[in-house]
Amino acid sequence: MSDITKQSLSELVKNIKDKKLSSEEVTKAFINRSEKSKELNAYITEDYSSALEKAKKFDQKPNLELKLPGIPMAVKDLFCTDSIRTTAGSKILNNFVPTYESTVTQNIWNEGAILLGKLNCDEFAMGSSNETSFFGNVQNPIDKNLVPGGSSGGSASAVAGQLTPITIGTDTGGSIRQPASFTGTVGLKPTYGSCSRYGIVAFASSLDQAGPMAQNVKDCALLQEVISTYDPKDSTSIDFKRNEYSKELSKNIKGKKIGIPKEYRVDGMPQEIEELWQKGIQYAKNCGAEIVDISLPHTSYALPTYYIVAPAEASSNLARYDGVKYGFRAKGENLTDMYEKTRSEGFGAEVQRRIMIGTYVLSSGYYDAYYLKAQKVRKLIKNDFDEAYKKVDAILTPSTPSSAFKIGEKKDDPVSMYLNDIFTVPVNLAGLPGISIPAGHDAKGYPLGLQIIGKAFDEQNILNIAYAMEEKINFKNKITDWWIK
Amino acid sequence: MSKNKSEYLINRKDNQYEVVIGLEVHAQVTSESKLFSASSTKFGAEPNTQVSLVDAAFPGMLPVINEFCVKQAIKTGIGLNAKINNRSVFDRKNYFYADLPQGYQISQFKDPIVGEGKVILDMPEGQKEVGIERLHLEQDAGKSIHDLDPQNTFVDLNRSGVALMEIVSKPDLRSPDEVSAYIKKLRSIMRYLGTCDGNMQEGSLRADVNVSVRAKGSKEFGTRCEIKNVNSIKFMQMAIEYEANRQVDLIEEGKSIDQETRLFDTKKNETRSMRSKEDAHDYRYFPDPDLLPLEVSDEFINQLKTDIPELPDDKKKRFIEEFKLSPYEANILVSDIDTGKYFEEVVAKMGKNKDIKLAVNWITGELFAVLNNKNLEISQSPISAKNLAILVNLIKNGTISGKIAKTVFELMMDGDKDPQKIVEEKGLKQQSDPKALEALIDKIINDNRDKAIEYKQGKEKLFGFFVGQAMKVSGGKANPQLINEILKKKL
């Protein structure tokens, strides 16, 4: 089989289970393609030789009952992996090798998957274009010098470029859904508390959530089924009944009520995004869903609220990177000098910007005006969704206000960069699940995504809607392998 | 210093100043493992051997609350007659220091687990109530060691993450003696509850002391200074005395007092400025997003209430009623949970015909002296409660005299020997046979005819001489009461 890497996860699992493919063949195929794809810069750390060893070992005694039998996969470099360098895309963790495994990745290995390597991302997941990574830009397989989105840019690029059959990312304000949208792939941000945060380098604890990224909805459902477990090691993990998402996947969404929030029709939104949205509404109708106009009145406050809450938590979460215990340390005259040099040399500009914003909004005298107020607005945003869900089962919006942009295009304009997250951020603030599916192309031929937002813990429902719409949309990603010489 | 013995005032020329003190006591929760991790809290281990990934703040590590520590805090709150809050919140207190791995301390700022309560102090002039403002749970930091290397500081994270209760008093204390009584009372309550061992040498109990002064009679508070991290009652008292006098001197000189944090130098016996209010840290407190608000139901609290043992105040009341002790005696016996336990065991072992007063005297007299000398806790007493009870009974039933008892007591200390056996083996039994004693006295009178005549002529002082002789000749074993009776008859 020459085109192993073109196969979806479900196909690969079937072929391995049917013994048509060995784990070694599959692993080799993805390693070969990854090696030919260095120009994408999707990987920070490769672990190919030990991946091959594990694949051979798997083949010797294959356990075909597992959900990911001998499936190789690379993961975002925000997940701590035992004995494998974990950098969070930062110089400050350049040489950090954990002695422990994140719960989410452990769940994956427990189901038979094999680590290929660690994927590039924005530094500490702060960014929407993967340009803040200490390890350089990631190329979007869609076109040369196009950003893959962020912060899970390496993950999106690797899935779209078929360097890994599936992957996991993390999403604090859109970091799974926006890059999925930019690369023509599927990305799910689960309900807050669905996937354990244990062992994931923290950005903003009340918003961070790991999730699957894949070529299609079914693969996404299967991976979600694997990674979502209750974990007592994470106090915010929630013990609820989790579906077997892939088994329970259904295209029958007849009679489902899907809300269209008028506030998502933002000023200056490109016509093609509006058209995509209308097309999406039509697809949903074609699937038998009922369209309902709804209002989420506090939507416009979501982005400023996010850019207070997330930096505030980040400023505190990143205090541990001080050069004392692990990671990068610069020499200093005394303790304070060492701190200052370590942190100004170890953190990039965007991370420093957010630490400063976060420190400012928590400072005495400003706390009430910023942080406390943001918490109140966050509650209102959540209430908006609660109200809406009295009338509808899910909400349909565009994933992003534009398609992928060129590397460097927005690098010096943080606000314009932040605007990328305008449709995804409210979902994190409300702790809800959201999925982005590819739904069309813009005039340049770049992919565009639609976002389906669900009720808390209702991943099955949005996966089903996405699954039904996916069939109707019949999206074909235009990957030309331009980077392979 | 002042006319009224009970009042602690500082006098300067025509002015009298009152000292106002509030304490923030940091009490280490007695628990096997830390507040948010499973590492051991054992004292004295090799540096950095009791450190988990959570304690060292490795990337992606998350705190998980230790339920036992929560129970301990609630029990302590109950012991302080305080309001237990059904909902409390853990906040992050952000600051950088080498021994603070997270870059923040998890503490409770706005919503503590325990609210207002009170503690009763037994002062010589009567009881005094001290208000408790709050009690909250927080993590301890690690330890920076600066004197092992001229260039570097070493960090020991064994303490990092150990659960502390910060108990904040209202500014109700007025003298170093009250501070001493307050700390002792807190420690006593927590030891009764088993929530803090109160060991100040190991740092299980330490305090930040807030001191201000004001003209006697004034209702306004003066500007306070906070003396950080004082770890013995003696040092607290010394620090307060120094600091109060320093503040009074400033006022007398017409200067103002700066609100600041100060350190107590135990070698020079003075407080020194550490940082002013302007330099105070901005801790940027905010709710820890890694932890959900802590919710405890009334049921949970009520269940814990049933676990609360008899506390010192109640025990004191009972001792006074049940054993007819004086409040003073009762106080001494209840101040430490083990002393109370020892006393009650002695009482129980003494059986029916018991002399409780005598037992109290022996415990607070001879036994305390020995413990003090040997620097032992009563739980390590070389003499068991059972054997002390036997000794007291031997005195009570006339088998030995109080004087002989002291000799027996000394001998008992060697391996907690049974006093009964000692008396038998050494032949220390009191001589109470009237015939034998009469013979003995006859001989003494015979040998001292001249003195017997002098006595009869009215020199009554000589009676003591004959008693002494009788005791001497009998080797101290003669029953003093009988000796008295016989002597009176014979002389």
Q: What's phi and psi for B275, nearest 5 deg?
A: -160, 150
Joined together, the tokens standing for residue A342 give: 């370590």
Q: Which among A88, A319, A336 has the least Cβ separation from residue B102?
A: A319
First to last CA, chain B: 56
Q: H/E/C letters for each residue in chain A? A: CCCHHHCCHHHHHHHHHCCCCCHHHHHHHHHHHHHHCHHHCCEEEECHHHHHHHHHHHHHCCCCCCCCCCCEEEEECCECECCECCCCCCHHHCCCCCCCCCHHHHHHHHCCCEEEEEECCCHHHCCCCCCCCCCCCCCCCCCCCECCCCCCHHHHHHHHCCCCCEEEEECCCCCCHHHHHHHCCEEEECCCCCCCCCCECCCCCCCCCEEEEECCHHHHHHHHHHHCCCCCCCCCCCCCCCCCCCCCCCCCCCCCEEEEEHHHCCCCCCHHHHHHHHHHHHHHHHCCCEEEEECCCCHHHHHHHHHHHHHHHHHHHHHHCCCCCCCCCCCCCCHHHHHHHHHHHHCCHHHHHHHHHHHHHHCCCCCHHHHHHHHHHHHHHHHHHHHHCCCCCEEEEECCCCCCCECCCCCCCHHHHHHHHCCCHHHHHCCCCEEEEEEEECCCCCEEEEEEEECCCCHHHHHHHHHHHHHHHCCCCCCCCCCCC
The mean-pLDDT minimum among A260-269, A284-293, B251-260, B270-279 falls in B270-279
To the nearest 10°, report the CA torsion of A201, A203, A209, A210: -40
Length reported for chain B = 491
For residues B243 and B273, what is the distance between their CA atoms, to the nearest angstrom? 11
Return the axis-axis angle of helices A9-17 and A217-227, rounded to nearest 10°: 70
pLDDT at residue B3, rounded to an integer:
42
CB A152 within 8 A of CB A187: yes
Q: Which among A93, A96, A235 has the least Cβ separation from residue B290?
A: A235
Q: What is the DSSP letter of B427?
A: T
In three-state secondary structure terms, B87 is: strand
Return the axis-axis angle of helices B176-193 and B67-79, rounded to nearest 10°: 130
Going by DSSP bridges, is the β-strand pair B9-12/B15-28 parallel, antiparallel, or unpaired?
Answer: antiparallel
Q: What is the mean pLDDT of residues A100-119?
A: 98
A interface test, pick of B99, B286, B288, B291 with most A CB neighbours within 10 Å? B286
Q: What is the mean pLDDT of residues A278-307?
A: 97
Residues 6+ apart with CB under 8 A from A142: A160, A182, A183, A184, A404, A445, A446, A447, A477, A478, A479
For residues A465 and A86, what is the distance between their CA atoms, to the nearest angstrom? 35
Q: Which among A80, A205, A315 has the least Cβ separation from residue B289?
A: A205
CB B490 within 8 A of CB B449: no
User: Is residue B452's pLDDT more than 70?
Assistant: yes
AA letter at B178: E
User: Is residue B375's pLDDT more than 70?
Assistant: yes
User: Is residue A8's pLDDT more than 90?
Assistant: yes
User: Is residue A135's pLDDT more than 90?
Assistant: yes
For residues B31 and B187, what is the distance between their CA atoms, to the nearest angstrom? 16
Q: Which residues of A touch chain B, with CB atoms under 8 Å apart?
A: 79-80, 86, 88, 93, 96, 98-100, 102, 197-202, 204-206, 232-236, 312-313, 315-316, 318-320, 322, 324-326, 335-336, 339, 359, 362-364, 367, 371
For residues A27 and B397, what is the distance between their CA atoms, to the nearest angstrom? 93
Q: Which among A79, A316, A336 has the least Cβ separation from residue B94?
A: A316
pLDDT at residue B140, rounded to an integer:
96
Quick: pLDDT tens for B303-357: 999 999 999 999 999 999 999 999 999 999 999 999 999 999 999 999 888 999 9
pLDDT at residue B211, rounded to an integer:
98
For residues B10 and A272, what is the distance between their CA atoms, to the nearest angstrom? 82
For residues B294 and B275, what is the distance between their CA atoms, to the nearest angstrom? 34
pLDDT band for position B293 (cuts 50, 70, 90): very high
Element (H or E) spanning B463, and its range? Answer: helix B462-473
Percent of chain A with pLDDT over 70: 100
pLDDT at residue B460, rounded to an integer:
83
User: Is residue B108's pLDDT more than 70?
Assistant: yes
User: Is residue B431's pLDDT more than 70?
Assistant: yes
User: Is residue B2's pLDDT more than 50?
Assistant: no
pLDDT at residue B235, rounded to an integer:
96
In this complex, do B62 and A335 lie within 8 Å of one another by their Cβ atoms?
no
User: Is residue B4's pLDDT more than 60?
Assistant: no
Q: Using only C-alpha atoms, what is the Rg of chain B? A: 30
User: Is residue A1's pLDDT more than 70?
Assistant: no
**Using a CB-CB distance cutoff of 8 angstroms, which residues of chain A are in contact with residue B292?**
235-236
Percent of chain B with pLDDT over 90: 76
What Å distances lie between residue A292 and A137, A389, A390, B161, CA to CA? 41, 11, 12, 52
CB B424 within 8 A of CB B408: no
Joined together, the tokens standing for residue A328 give: 């990068």
pLDDT band for position B114 (cuts 50, 70, 90): very high
CB A103 within 8 A of CB A194: no
pLDDT band for position A277 (cuts 50, 70, 90): very high
pLDDT at residue A187, rounded to an integer:
98
For residues A119 and A84, what is the distance between their CA atoms, to the nearest angstrom? 12
**Using a CB-CB distance cutoff of 8 angstroms, which residues of chain B are in contact with residue A363?**
282, 284
What does the domain layout of chain A look like in residue ranges? 4-256
AA letter at A224: Q
Joined together, the tokens standing for residue B68 give: 């036992």
Q: What's phi and psi for B318, nearest 5 deg?
A: -65, -40
Closest-CA distance of chain A to residue B112, Å = 19
Q: What is the mean pLDDT of residues A235-248?
A: 97
Percent of chain B with pLDDT over 70: 99
Q: What is the mean pLDDT of residues A299-307?
A: 97
Quick: pLDDT tens for A164-181: 999 999 999 999 999 999
pLDDT band for position B1 (cuts 50, 70, 90): very low
Q: What is the mean pLDDT of residues B466-486?
A: 84
Joined together, the tokens standing for residue B421 give: 């056996």
**Using a CB-CB distance cutoff of 8 angstroms, which residues of chain B are in contact with residue A200?**
60
B interface test, pick of A195, A324, A340, A361 with most B CB neighbours within 10 Å? A324
Q: Which fold would CATH assign to domain B434-490?
A: Arc Repressor Mutant, subunit A (1.10.10)
Closest-CA distance of chain A to residue B74, Å = 21
The mean-pLDDT minimum among A364-368, B11-15, B424-428 falls in B424-428
pLDDT at residue A253, rounded to an integer:
97
In this complex, do A232 and B64 lie within 8 Å of one another by their Cβ atoms?
yes
In three-state secondary structure terms, B385 is: helix
In this complex, do B101 and A320 lie within 8 Å of one another by their Cβ atoms?
yes
Q: What is the mean pLDDT of residues B443-448?
A: 87
In this complex, do B291 and A325 lie within 8 Å of one another by their Cβ atoms?
no
Neighbours of A464 (CB within 10 A): 26
First to last CA, chain A: 21
- Token pair 């945060």 is found at A197
Percent of chain A with pLDDT over 90: 96
What does the domain layout of chain B look like in residue ranges? 9-305, 312-426, 434-490
Quick: pLDDT tens for B148-187: 998 889 999 999 999 999 999 999 999 999 999 999 999 9
Joined together, the tokens standing for residue A48 give: 């190919």
Joined together, the tokens standing for residue A455 give: 């009720």
**Mean per-residue pLDDT of chain A:** 97
pLDDT at residue A384, rounded to an integer:
98
Q: Which residue has the higher pLDDT, B453 or B134?
A: B134
The yes/no answer on whether domain A4-256 falls in CATH 3.40.30.10 is no
